[in-house]
Amino acid sequence: MEKQLSAKQLLGQAAENAACEYLQTQGLTLLTRNFHARQGEIDLVMLEKNTLVFVEVRFRSRSVFGDAATSVTRAKQQKIIATARYFLHHHPKYQSLAARFDVVAIQPQGQQWHIDWIPAAFLAA
């Protein structure tokens, strides 16, 4: 029996779909979605020419607690970086590529969503 998703999970899934479609229109190719490791999860792993792109998708229905982009804290960044290292360890064919960490911030704007793509939003330290 399949687990029912909550309204919040369905909204998050829709936001990820929108982000993926947007990035694909910008020329990126999807490699995998929701890559899980003990360290954390990466929403989208994509390829842009010879660059491996790890994408964190953030959705905020209201900006009362800060916008979607600023919600990617340093602790969250560290989890994404550790998960990216795990991804590279298990997919050695991508190890020779440059890599970067992008954030796609999505917020409602009237009846539509505003998508803000931030390439190289943070660096692996």
pTM of the model as a whole:
0.90
Residue 120 confidence (pLDDT): 94
pLDDT of the chain, 125 residues: tens digit per residue: 667 878 888 888 989 999 999 999 999 999 999 999 999 999 999 999 999 999 999 987 765 555 666 778 999 999 999 999 999 999 999 999 999 999 999 988 888 888 999 999 998 86
CA-nearest of 12, 10, 7 to 106 is 12
Structural domains of the chain in order of their starting residue, each with its CATH number: 7-122 (3.40.1350.10)
Residue 1 confidence (pLDDT): 61
